[in-house]
Amino acid sequence: MPDHVILAAGPSLADATYETRYAATRAVSRAIAAPLAVEDMVVQAMPDTSPTKWHLAHVTWFFETFVLARFVPGYRCFDADYAFLFNSYYEGAGDRHARPERGLITRPTVAEVLDYRDYVDAAMARLLAEVPDNAEVAQLVELGINHEQQHQELMLMDILNLFSRNPLCPTYVAVSAMPQEMVAGDATWRFFDGGLYDIGFDGNGFSFDSEQPRHRVYLQPFALADRLVTNGEWLAFMEDGGYRRHDLWLADGIARVRADGWGAPLYWFDDPHDGWCEMTLHGKQPINPTAPVGHVSFFEADAFARWSGHRLPTEAEWEVASTDLPPTGNTLGQGYLRPLPAGAGGHDQMFGDLWEWTASPYVAYPGFTPPPGVVGEYNGKFMSGQMVLRGGACVTPDEHLRATYRNFFYPHQRWAFTGLRLAKDVR
């Protein structure tokens, strides 16, 4: 396997043509799948995940369904049955295979799915060459590119979850050199005045519909920690009985702890010879106490914040704190594929490393209206029961780093690259 892979296309693509950006994005997905054996690509580790093969086919179906079938006269689908197999959740696009059973789809084969990608890529290249100035095509291609980039992150999440269930602790890709590590001292605080602030996307370029409209919020004075919570701090929480103290947990959280037997972050295990270790995309690794703790649920993050005497930030507080900072960090383009200690590689952790849980539910902004048609199902239908995360992670495509990006997961989910930053009120 390669020692170090750069999987992102790079920031220079921001001003490239759609033809170039489309081709580069599609190449990244193939690069993510490249280290895998066929056997790795067809297995579904749990109902929340999907096989790599399914991801590669689904993002292709997206372009075929929402772009080619609409804008290419007489377009012939590669296989009409793929619409049922590879539709994810678009009710308006027809019936679909049950999500928990995607790992049972042994056919089409991986080779046939790759042929499907080639077929759609060739048709997309012809379309983009013929209608370079069609605004509606451009809008849907932009959405499709960002959709595939989201699935690139999901692919890596799902690969890690799959490999974590293998007793051999297989390595997805090895990294021979990491940035010089910094020793994480006590967190310091960044203070912000209370008052009225505008949040939400209103700039140039792409954003998802849920990032809009821009609107005004009132905030009390607050402070945010200057780094993420570390593994060492989480070990102290565990040693203090953090997973056993019901006074720290929300009711649904302690119920989940007891039902699922949580006693540490997902992918951690206490090795009889090596002590606490974690499963990573680089295989089994010893816990680095200075690196940020990852793969924790909202319930765990909230309990830790309460244990520490602080709280989680709201999404508005996080956005206000990040707005004037450069949206750069340890992302997919860096190729490290794991969170780094604060300061390593010259990054300050506000963007990249780990998605940061906030205390805010994923709900519509005032005045939000989903787009018309089937693509309107992209975000709005999920605005119930989930919590917002901000900032991006070490597996997030570089183009997705912006202060207004709203990621969201259910509060019990842990397989995403999720961590936390503490906040506190200022009196």
pLDDT per residue over 256-271, tens digit each? 999 999 999 999 999 9
pLDDT category of residue 9 using cuts at 50, 70 and 90: very low
Helices (H), 208-264: 231-239, 251-260
pLDDT for 12 beyond 60: no
Which of 131, 164, 197 represents a domain boundary (last residue)? 164
The answer to whether position 173 is within a domain reads no
Instruction: Determine the structural domain holding residue 33 and report its residue range.
Output: 11-164
pLDDT category of residue 421 using cuts at 50, 70 and 90: very high
Strand-pair category, 418-419 with 355-361: parallel
Which range is least confidently modeled, 69-73, 153-157, 253-257, 347-351?
347-351
Report the pLDDT value the prediction gives residue 4, as an integer from 0 to 100: 41
How distant, in Å, are the alpha carbons of 84, 95, 137 from that of 88?
9, 10, 22
pLDDT category of residue 178 using cuts at 50, 70 and 90: confident
Report the pLDDT value the prediction gives residue 185, as an integer from 0 to 100: 73
Q: Are residues 156 and 238 in the same domain?
A: no
| Whole-number percent of the chain with pLDDT over 90 | 87
pLDDT category of residue 207 using cuts at 50, 70 and 90: very high
Q: Are residues 248 and 360 in the same domain?
A: yes
pLDDT for 3 beyond 60: no
Please answer whether residues 401 and 329 qualify as being in contact, where contact means their C-beta atoms are separated by less than 8 angstroms: yes
- Enter the tokens of residue 8: 């992102």
Read off the pTM.
0.95
Per the prediction, the chain carries an average pLDDT of 93
Reduce the DSSP state of residue 249 to 3 states and report it: coil
Which range is least confidently modeled, 41-50, 149-158, 373-382?
373-382
pLDDT category of residue 2 using cuts at 50, 70 and 90: very low
Report the pLDDT value the prediction gives residue 29, as an integer from 0 to 100: 98
| Whole-number percent of the chain with pLDDT over 70 | 94
Q: Are residues 152 and 197 in the same domain?
A: no
Q: Are residues 316 and 250 in the same domain?
A: yes
pLDDT category of residue 10 using cuts at 50, 70 and 90: very low
The answer to whether position 179 is within a domain reads no
Reduce the DSSP state of residue 112 to 3 states and report it: helix
Which of 149, 164, 179 represents a domain boundary (last residue)? 164
Q: Are residues 126 and 268 in the same domain?
A: no
pLDDT for 299 beyond 50: yes
Report the pLDDT value the prediction gives residue 172, as an integer from 0 to 100: 98
Q: Are residues 288 and 334 in the same domain?
A: yes
How distant, in Å, are the alpha carbons of 173, 260, 274, 293, 371 from that of 170?
9, 24, 17, 21, 43
Q: Are residues 67 and 202 in the same domain?
A: no
- Nearest partner of 117 among 31, 185, 16, judged by Cα: 31
pLDDT category of residue 8 using cuts at 50, 70 and 90: very low
Report the pLDDT value the prediction gives residue 375, as an integer from 0 to 100: 86
pLDDT for 292 beyond 60: yes
The answer to whether position 261 is within a domain reads yes
Q: Are residues 193 and 107 in the same domain?
A: no
Please answer whether residues 313 and 248 qualify as being in contact, where contact means their C-beta atoms are separated by less than 8 angstroms: no
Which range is least confidently modeled, 182-186, 194-198, 265-269?
182-186
Helices (H), 281-314: 298-308
Helices (H), 88-242: 110-130, 135-164, 231-239
Report the pLDDT value the prediction gives residue 397, as an integer from 0 to 100: 98
CATH of the domain at 244: 3.90.1580.10
pLDDT for 13 beyond 90: no
Residue 135: is it exposed, middle or buried by C-beta count within 10 angstroms (0-12/13-18/19+)? exposed
Number of folded domains in the chain?
2
Query: Which phi and psi angles does 330 have, rounded to 5°?
Result: -80, 100
Q: Are residues 260 and 348 in the same domain?
A: yes
C-alpha to C-alpha distance for 240 and 245, rounded to whole angstroms: 9
